[in-house]
Amino acid sequence: MTGRRALIVGASSGIGAAVTEVFAGAGADVVAAGRRIHRLEGVAAGAAGLPGNVTPMELDVADEASARVGVAAAAEILGGLDVVVNNAGVMLSATVQTSDPAEWERMVRTNLLGTLHVSHAALPHLVASKGTLVQTSSTSGRTASAGSGVYAATKHGVNAFSEALRQEVAAQGVRVVVVEPGMVDTELADHLSDPTMRTLAAQMAGEIRVLDPKDVAETVLFAVTRPPHVSLNEILLRPTEQVR
């Protein structure tokens, strides 16, 4: 990864913070983006001794202008983009009958539209470098289940968009990699407003050995370090004990 230039969006905690650390550890220069700048500064400080540089950047994917300006600024700072990781996401699960449509909108704006905005802004840079676009989807991008209808809809959307994009840019040497983790130990479930879903998430996390963010980050590193003619289009990884 030495000399490679990466933008990680949704890098302030969990999987994105781990990808930032693993990439910088492997020598890449990284712009770590998200809304919570103090957390991003902490991620950058934690990476201080690593071979690659980490630059924190404030960026809100739910705001098209912020995504566009942020991607351009990251390309400017790094002198181009070889890897972009679209990792920003929120999971506000609840049944359709009990959920708040404002939370549906937040998930669609962040998980789906946010991924679209960042991908669109990043494409000219990735075409120029024959780079790699990594999309953090989920097992919910493959299988929907009760209580996660809208979250699953956003992740199915990410998968569909990414497959279409892959076909469009393959001949230009750009790789599109969809990563679909099962349960990972992060802050994702902390934002659940539905008490039943909070209890369920805590219960599930307590019953099995879930993935560490680093497990996912190392998988992403593996995908982006394959030779240029090898494209891992879709990677599903679950905790071994996770059944569905």
Residues that bind ligand NDP (CB under 6 A): 10-16, 34-36, 39, 59-62, 87-91, 110, 114, 136, 138, 181, 183-184, 186-188
Query: What minimum distance in Å lies between the beta carbon of 170 and ligand NDP?
Result: 24
Q: 173 or 198, CB closer to ligand NDP? A: 198
Q: 207 or 228, CB closer to ligand NDP? A: 207
Q: Which residues does residue 165 pair with via DSSP β-bridges, in sequence order?
A: none
Query: What minimum distance in Å lies between the beta carbon of 118 and ligand NDP?
Result: 9
Alpha helix (H) ranges present in 79-172?
101-107, 114-129, 149-169
Q: Is 135 left (phi over 0), alpha (psi -120 to 50) or beta?
A: beta
Query: What minimum distance in Å lies between the beta carbon of 222 and ligand NDP?
Result: 17
> Which of 151, 192, 201, 224 is labelled catalytic?
151
Query: What minimum distance in Å lies between the beta carbon of 110 and ligand NDP?
Result: 5
Q: 130 or 191, CB closer to ligand NDP? A: 191
Q: Which residues does residue 34 pair with via DSSP β-bridges, in sequence order?
A: 58
| Both tokens assigned to 16 | 């994105």
How big is the CA angle at 154 (ends 219 and 35), to the nearest 5 degrees?
A: 70
Q: 35 or 120, CB closer to ligand NDP? A: 35
Q: Is-catalytic flag, 151?
A: yes
Name, in order, each residue with C-beta under 8 angstroms of 235's C-beta and a sequence gap of 6 or more: 177, 178, 179, 180, 219, 223
On whether the CB atoms of residues 104 and 157 are closer than 8 A, the answer is no
Pairing of strands 132-136, 175-181: parallel
Q: Which residues are catalytic?
A: 151
